[in-house]
Structure 1
Amino acid sequence: MTRSVLLVFLLICGGRISAQFFQPVAYPQKFFRDPLDIPIRLAANFGELRSNHYHMGLDIRTEHRENLPVFAAAGGYIYRVKIEPFGFGQAVYIRHSNGYVSVYAHLNSFYPALAAYVKQKQYELKRWDIFLELPQGLLHVKKGDLIAYSGNMGGSQGPHLHFEIRTWPDDLNLNPMLFGLPVADNTPPVIRSLSVYDRNKSFYEQNPFFTTVKGKAGRYAVSQPLLILKTPNPGFGISGFDTQSGSVNPNGIFQGIIYDNGEAVSGFRMDQISYDETRGINAHIDYPTREGGGPYYQLLFKMPGYLHSIYREAGRGGYINLEDGKLHIIRIELKDTYGNTSNLEFKVRYQPQENLNMSYPGKVFYPGMVDGFEAADAAFYLGATCLYDSVHLAYQETAGDGKDVVSALHQFGNTRVPLADTMTVRIKLSIPGIQKQHILMQWINGDDFEIRKPEWLGDWATASFRSFGSFRLVLDTEPPLIRIPGVVENANLQRSSRIAIVVQDNYKKIKSFRATLDGNWLLFTNDKAWAFMYHFDEHCAPGKHELKIYAEDEAGNAAVQVLHFTR
């Protein structure tokens, strides 16, 4: 076979491979309708990049309004209801006959039959936040039936409907745009800039190269005609976004594939993601750059410790090899769910340079290994699924400083290195004999902090965290502060529609809240956790009443407040 014939053969094979690089899956079209009665305009799409997670559905705009009717996207039965202060807020799950589940979140309220059932269960369970499994034959719905009203509850930052499609029973989230929902889109993705990495080094122990991109309408090029690279095995990332027709909202990119001389090497596709793997976004992006205030760069190669589903690699293991020293044409192809395509093409060549061996402090840890670090007064243990790439982790101990601090400050690792799973942290108490039941373990990063109630073995406290940083033990004996704004003792509340309770804590974490009216449990909502709210209903008859509020923080400190009023 001549060289020219061989080249043609390889190009044809490369084209055939790339055309089927991601095997198409046939999803039912038109089975699901628009869950609202207004045209779909997206505030966010599936797989969009967020802090520590992918966006797992569609955020449908509600024209800056709340309480729009929400309809069943297909027939089935309501099999779950979730109510929580953050996250989904209030959500409805409908199971359908074809094995799919649709989810509707950030709702202000449910339709009457469901609302009555949920309220009954809340009083039976004596809690507002619930995750209910409903009997199969209880609440059937047809396609287009009213199920709820839209809102802004939970983790929502503005009025919209969050809509998901999942598989059952494994709860794998699917991209709703693949089901033929009526969303107009004829605009290709936009590419802003390119990043280059050395795959022979730890992702967290190198200085990436960044370059701007020029172009529009699907055709892009880098600013330099030729990129001379210092590594024979580069990895690439792109910063960009996608939009839908008639919208300027920057949404996530559905698919990206990288080609080396016409042959597909590796790529990602946002067609299905489970909640178990959503934190894997930190291995799909350039996490250190993002944490340092830079843009999102989506990696077109899979990191060693990323075990999940969005990537596919070709036979060469997803590696680009430039050791031949020749000119290589690299092409990055981005697509949306409608097939609108953008291409970034550029030339690269490897030029060997003197290898400067950099030294990093600390002990080196690897993905896939169980390992730890032990000091005199602290220890850190990482499981096999904790890391996405190898990295040196340094430890430093400094004297404890601050009110109620009861241990030294132990710094381990760098906050710009993400943890895929929790690590175990052990710290020794530096002041023996104090009240361990009121001691918390605290993670600190600048002004941010998290607390855990540790387990004890002698003078050693143990807790789990999902971030590197600084850790210490603190004594918390301060109970929460309960306030009832605008209401005084023996108030007449006949003209009031509700009572609001504000609970504050010095470590900003309330473990439990309970309210009773004349000795009977009373339902207070807790949307976004800023306040607890009771709306007067049949549980508060006319007359004199005693309202008792109980709040407990993570350290076990409790507060009680009693209010007498007339209704």
Structure 2
Amino acid sequence: MKLRNIYLVLISLLFISWNSAGPKYPTDYFELPLNRSVLLSGTFGELRPGHFHSGIDIKSLKGTSGEIVSASAQGFIARIKVAPGGYGNAIYIAHPNGYTTVYAHLDHFDETVAAYVKEKQYELKKFSVDLYPKPTQFQLNKGQLIGYMGNSGSSSAPHLHFEIRRTSGQVPINPFLFGLQVTDKVRPDIGKLQVYYLSEDLKQIDVREYPLLRTASGRYTIADTLSEGAWRVGFALKTTDKMDGAPNRNGIYELQMQVDDDPRFSFALNEVPFSKTRYLNAHIDYAARQKKKGYYHRCFKLPGNALDIYSRYKNNGVVKLYSNQSQKVSIEVNDINGNISTVTFFIKRDADMSASQIPAAEFSADNEGSLSITKSNFKCTIGTGALYAQTGIDYRTEKSGQNHYSALHHIGSENIPLHKYISISIKPEDLPSALRDKAFVGRLDEEVITNYGGKYSNGYFTASVREFGNYTIEVDTTSPMIKPIQFSSKMQGASRMRFSITDNMPIGGKARGLRYNAHVDGKWILMEYDAKKDMLTHRFDERISTGDHEIVLKVRDDRGNVAEFRRTFTR
């Protein structure tokens, strides 16, 4: 008994050391970029579509834009980026201690920075710019004004997205490892458990979902012992975290799993490089997300998952079941403030193993191999590393509807994630040569066609895609639409003019979005583009004098269809 106790103590110490190992971060260098206590609408490592959240989202005090944002520490502005999506208006500050802080979705920059950016936009004749000022140009003290909280880019409400990165490699790190503090005494919430029946090579055979019974604050269980018809299983938890004073369901920080008190699996969201963030699709139950069941954290690691957030244990969290022995499984979930919730249950192997039969598929591939599929009028190439585990892939074809210039080719399942682009080639049928430049590979999903672009060569249109599904050849001869929102022939006293620009179908893969150019009296003018609102805005300045003028706005889509708006106006 004494030897067993010593063994358990050693295992526990090893478990702690594995999870606490890693670089140490300065905890007295940075401060929060707002001069007030903060509430969060997003945490580091939070699960997002196709990526882990790379920073923290600080809520607006009143739900509006305009709060002052300050430098978190001494440094210089190393980068300024303006984009219609993504981070929108963003500032990157390099600090002498080897870290960089990022401030994104800003409404606008400090006056001096804004003037520099606008000058560069006119010089480059581009709204979207990625600028790298000289280190001596914008030197900053801790707490110095750099901009104002906003809703630019792919933001859904006014907030500040704040990051701390290691400057070398630009690797995002959890900001709360640097001593920043928020008030939070709320335990994570655990919603449901999923149990996966797995083959020896970790191909998923079946999945079962179980609701959890909350027995006390932070304590969850399943009333009866689970009896599963599988030789080996993996688990996944649907779990989120809240904080004091905010309703948002944010992400957790850490998860640890033990089987019969033996550590079997854990992860901690300390750092996630951008080069590996898409492996989120291997970390989560992608199929559950596709079916709108929410995000589930896997408690086992797929073979093709290259994330570094996990500790190393035998079998990577996969649990072998026994018919004559129930095993106790405990999964502990932590937030960054040390609030803990735990689910505990028992599991054994059922006598009925009929559910453990591996379903057949026409093709099969794994994360280490490649696969080429050639069918009548259809080709598909799946390269090494595109999949996360052994995967069955089916193909079928059917007659497509009107306005399609090929059959409808169904490849794989929409519930299978792809890490890398795969190549799809489709031979068009009855496509007039005059429409060849307007044709593209389209993905059909619930009667909606998404344009994935593509090039024509040797009788086939070929496109790069990162989703399985239904593909066909479609044409687009419709020009984008330009709608004046704030414009008239008499613009005296107006501070801006605005136009809505839209296209007739969404884009995916490597297809190009709308491109535009605007000129007044033959000279290029700056049009700010808010992609989420489909809105172009020009703010009048001294470049357009009083008097009569002509504006010409042209918008082009992926297939080269062009819309033009030409009008005269008076300032």
TM-score bracket, normalised by the shorter chain, equals over 0.9
Instruction: Provide the C-alpha distance between the structure 1 equivalents of 2:146 and 2:449, rounded to a whole number of angstroms.
Output: 39
**What SS is found at the alignment partner of 2:177?**
helix
**Residue 39 of structure 1: aligned partner:** 37
CA shift, 1:362, in A, is 2.3
1:305-333: CA deviation from partner (whole Å, max 9, x where unpaired): 11122222214543323348423221111
Partner in structure 1 of residue 413 of structure 2:
414
**Which residue does 2:515 correspond to in 1?**
512
Aligned twin of 2:510: none
5 Å matches for 1:119-268?
119-200=118-199, 204-224=204-224, 226-268=225-267
Query: Structure 2: where are the runs of 5+ without partners?
Result: 508-512
- What is residue 285 of structure 1 aligned with on the other side? 284
Q: For 2:236 and 2:359, how far apart are their aligned partners in 1?
A: 26
Q: What one-letter code is carried by the residue in structure 1 that aligns with 2:241? A: D
Deviation at 1:148, TM superposition (A): 0.3
How far did residue 8 of structure 1 move?
Answer: 2.2
Q: Percent identity, please.
A: 30
Once superposed, what is the RMSD of the aligned Cα atoms? 1.9
Q: SS at the partner of 1:272?
A: coil
Is 2:360 aligned against 1:360? yes
Q: 1:322 to 1:358 in 2, by over 3 A?
A: closer
For the 8 Å contact 1:427–1:462, the answer to whether it is kept is yes
Question: Structure 1 residue 15 and structure 2 residue 12: aligned?
Answer: yes
Please tell me whether the aligned partners of residues 196 and 205 of structure 2 are also in contact (alpha carbons under 8 angstroms): no
Select the residue among 537, 546, 549 that pairs with 1:545. Answer: 549
Q: Is the 8 A contact 1:191 1:240 kept in 2?
A: yes
Structure 1 position 449, deviation (Å): 4.1
Mapped contact 1:197–1:203 kept (Cα < 8 A): no
Quick check: 1:150–1:160 contact (8 Å CA) kept in 2? yes
Partner-residue secondary structure (3-state), 2:317: coil
Query: Counterparts of 1:12 and 1:350 in 2: how far apart (Å)?
Result: 29
**Which residue of structure 1 aligns with residue 537 of structure 2?**
533
Distance 1:205 1:260 in 2: 22
Judge conservation of contact 2:227–2:350 (CA < 8 Å) in 1. yes
Q: Within 2, Cα distance between the matches of 1:351 and 1:508?
A: 48
CA contact (8 A) 2:219 2:343 kept: yes
Aligned partners of 2:324, 2:17: CA distance in 1, in Å?
29
CA distance in 2, matches of 1:449, 1:91: 33
> Which amino acid is 1:299 matched to?
R
Aligned length: 560
Is the CA contact 2:323–2:351 (under 8 Å) kept in the aligned structure 1? no
Q: Is the 8 A contact 2:440 2:454 kept in 1?
A: yes
Q: Is the 8 A contact 1:231 1:352 kept in 2?
A: no
Q: TM-score, normalised by structure 1?
A: 0.94
Deviates more, 1:331-340 or 1:358-367: 358-367
SS at 2:18 equivalent: coil
Cα distance change on mapping 1:205 and 1:448 into 2, 3 Å? farther
Per the alignment, residue 555 of structure 1 pairs with 559
Does residue 475 (structure 1) correspond to residue 472 (structure 2)? The answer is no
Aligned position for 2:388:
388
Amino acid at match of 1:241: T
Q: 1:371: how far off?
A: 1.0
CA contact (8 A) 2:364 2:391 kept: yes
Superposed displacement of residue 508, structure 1: 4.3
* Conserved 8 A contact 2:195-2:207: no
TM-fit CA distance, 1:448: 4.6
Report if the CA contact (8 A) 2:28-2:178 is conserved: yes
CA distance in 1, matches of 2:322, 2:505: 55
TM-superposed deviation, 1:370: 1.2
- Matches of 1:398 and 1:380 in 2, distance apart? 17
Tell me if structure 2 keeps the 8 A contact 1:153–1:528: no
Distance 1:246 1:449, change over 3 A: same
**Where does structure 1 lack aligned partners over 5 or more consecutive residues?**
none
Quote the offset at 1:478 in angstroms.
2.0
Deviation of 1:95 (Å): 0.8
Q: Once the 2 structures are TM-superposed, how far is the Cα of residue 222 of structure 1 from its aligned partner?
A: 1.9
With 113-122 and 351-360 compared, the bigger mean Cα shift is at 351-360
Cα separation, partners in 2 of 1:460 and 1:153, compared to 1, 3 Å: same
Measure the CA separation in 2 of the matches of 1:158 and 1:203.
40
Q: Deviations over 1:485-524 (max 9, x none)?
A: 3534xx1210221111222222246431000111111000
Q: Which amino acid is 2:454 matched to?
A: P
Range moving further from structure 2, 423-432 or 251-260? 423-432
Q: Is the Cα contact below 8 Å between 1:204 and 1:288 reproduced in 2?
A: no
Distance 1:339-1:145 versus aligned 2 partners, 3 A rule: same
Distance 1:346 1:80, change over 3 A: same
Determine if contact 1:14/1:262 at 8 Å carries over to the other structure: no
SS of corresponding position for 1:437 = helix
Corresponding letter in the other structure for 2:46:
E
In structure 2, the CA distance between the partners of 1:402 and 1:277, relative to structure 1 (3 Å rule), is: farther
Q: Give the Cα–Cα distance (whole angstroms) in 2 for the partners of residues 543 and 455 of structure 1.
A: 47
